[in-house]
Amino acid sequence: MKKRTSGILMPVSSLPGKYGIGDFGSGAYDFVNFLESSSQKNWQILPLGITGFGDSPYQSFSAYAGNPYLIDLDEFLKDSYLTQEDIDEFDLGDNPKRIDYEKLYFNKFPLLRRAYERAREDVRGALEDYYLRNQQWLREFSLFMAIKEEHKGSSWLLWDEKYKNYNSQFVDEFERNNKDKIDFWVFTQYYFEKQWMKLKEYANSKDVKIIGDLPIYVSEDSSDVWAHPEYFKLNEDFVPITVAGVPPDYFTATGQLWGNPIYDWEIMAQRGYDFWIKRVHHSFKIFDTLRIDHFRGFESFWEVPYGSENAVNGRWVKGPAFELFKAIKDALGDLDIIAEDLGFQTPEVVKLIEDTGFPGMKVLQFAFDPNGDSDYLPHNHQRNSIVYTGTHDNKTVKDWHESAPEDELEFAKEYLKLDDIEGYSWGLIRGAWSSNAYLAIAQMQDFLDLGEEARLNIPATIGNNWTWRVEDRLLNSDLANKISNLTLLYRRG
């Protein structure tokens, strides 16, 4: 039986730091210390992948590569690969509450290139070793990014025809003639992994586990689709035939049109699901626990014709279901996986969760239907589940409290005995921590009782998402003690 614990959902990008975005520097180590002081055993993060259009961590240029924005520049200062004057030359953003991704895009990459130019002779051997160890994904990623640069960052579907085929002689020629451009991207991944694994080791030394996040789909504009088109439903011009999303739901009246290519599950099955086994294996190299996003999509997924304006006119299609997870278990053994099973439930989805044995998720903000007996109400929580006050797609609890329907709010007040003295954010946290679920998670914003201004993401929208950052002064000992006391009270410490 899994130990009863709790944790905090906090993106790395939302941490305090000097360089415009949370990174793997001192702010991350300070947060691990805050988790330890708070008696928390779990740090849940969002995907760490390199982001593209829209800055979403769920839309990445690679299923494997890490985000260079998260690389700590102080290491380059220490090793004299950058000077403070170099960093001051580039505006990375100075708002401690918000990330400016445009400034990072135009200014952090030039800084990383400058560091690469000064470091490459010193780290040449380390880069070669790293490349050889990760060649199965790193070759296609570093080539993809170098060719993308040649095309001014445009999607690979808009590249010169000769570069669209990963296995063509033109791609091979580009690789031979542009080693330095390619090696820069190897350099970013080397430092990303080096710094991340050092941070993870520090967290583990404090008895804090890292809960990572695996998006179910990969981006259309990614090295994965470019190098492995056979795994996706594409036409002869490599354009997706159908794309992913979800139908109209709690969040949006027209559904969510994600736009990711749909997998060719028949081909994947013929190849023993090697694509997925490699992804999951890589994830458990860098995380302790893995949350798999949109888990119900493995039983049935919503596909929409390419070019649709929204996700309304889609259809449900059967996925690989338990067969995929049996193949993963046969290859990798028992793994600590969390199934993000939110959304439209069917008996088949419930059975898939039961068959895998993975814990599902219970979100308190969805629980308080005054006319029903929701599975999300704490008295219905199974021990093998994770309870959340809300996820990165939800409102903060304060925002929820200020905008929820009156009958739901009245039921929540009665059920959890919410009042203005304790506060509604802490009341919902108490409801989660007192639950029978073995793991309770709350967003950092809820511990801070922040409102709409601190919401991380509004599904089906682009712009102003993923930008929230926490102010350093808020992560203080008083808050740590308050979290710790609640955690010990409900025997999660």
436: which 2 tokens?
Answer: 């029978």
* Contact assessment for residue 185 and residue 145, using Cβ atoms and an 8 Å cutoff: yes
Neighbours of 102 (CB within 10 A): 10
Strand order in the sheet with 300-305: 256-261, 242-246, 300-305, 315-318
Q: Do the beta carbons of residue 62 and residue 137 sit within 8 Å?
A: yes
Find where tokens 């439209």 sit.
Answer: 344
Would you call 293 a catalytic residue per the annotation? Answer: yes
Taking a C-beta distance cutoff of 8 angstroms, is the pair 67, 12 a contact? Answer: no
91 is an active site residue = no
d(CA 320, CA 269): 8
| Section 282-288 average pLDDT | 98
Rounded mean pLDDT of 427-451? 98
User: What is the C-alpha to C-alpha distance for residues 82 and 90, in angstroms, rounded to an integer?
Assistant: 12
Can you tell me the distance from the alpha carbon of 49 to that of 46, in angstroms, rounded to the nearest whole number? 9
- Contact residues for 483 (Cβ-Cβ < 8 A; gap 6+): 38, 39, 40, 447
What pLDDT is stored for residue 253 in this prediction?
86
Structure tokens at 59: 């839309």
pLDDT 10s digits, 34-86: 999 999 999 999 999 999 888 999 999 999 999 999 999 999 999 999 999 99
363 closest CA partner among 3, 9, 103, 81: 9
Rounded distance between C-alpha atoms, residue 131 and residue 120, angstroms:
14
pLDDT at 249 over 80: no
pLDDT digits (tens, 9 = 90+) for 287-314: 999 999 999 999 999 999 999 999 999 9
pLDDT confidence bin for 252, thresholds 50/70/90:
confident
| pLDDT at 21 exceeding the cut of 70 | yes
Give CB contacts under 8 A, 24+ apart, made by 196-204. Answer: 196/24, 196/48, 196/66, 196/70, 196/286, 197/286, 198/24, 199/24, 199/28, 199/29, 199/32, 200/286, 200/287, 200/288, 202/29, 202/32, 203/32, 203/35, 203/43, 204/288
How many whole angstroms separate alpha carbon 298 and alpha carbon 322?
8
Residue 273 CA: distances (Å) to CA of 270, 342, 349, 392, 471: 7, 24, 20, 29, 43
SS3 content of the chain, % helix, strand, coil (to 5): 45, 15, 40
CA distance 156 to 419: 54
Spatial separation of the C-alpha atoms in residues 288 and 298, rounded to whole Å: 22
- Band (pLDDT 50/70/90 cuts) for residue 336 is very high
The whole-angstrom separation of Cα 125 and Cα 102 is 33
C-alpha distances in angstroms, 21 versus 24, 57, 74, 145, 447? 10, 14, 13, 22, 21
Q: Topology of 5-61+209-489 in CATH?
A: TIM Barrel (3.20.20)
Q: pTM, whole model, 2 decimals?
A: 0.96
**Structure token digits, residue 262:** 């749909």
Model confidence over 307-322: pLDDT tens digits?
999 999 999 999 999 9
Residue 237 backbone dihedrals phi, psi, to 5 degrees:
-100, 15
DSSP class per residue in 53-67: TT--TTSBS-SS-B-
- Out of 74, 140, 393, 399, the active site residue is 393
340, 341, 399, 446: which is the annotated catalytic residue? 340
Residue of 264, 293, 336, 408 with catalytic role? 293
- For residue 251, name the pLDDT band (cuts at 50, 70, 90): low
Residue 229: exposure state from Cβ atoms within 10 A (0-12, 13-18, ≥19)? middle
Condensed to tens digits (0 to 9), the pLDDT of residues 140-199 reads 999 999 999 999 999 999 999 999 999 999 999 999 999 999 999 999 999 999 999 999
Q: Respond yes or no: is residue 393 known to be catalytic.
A: yes
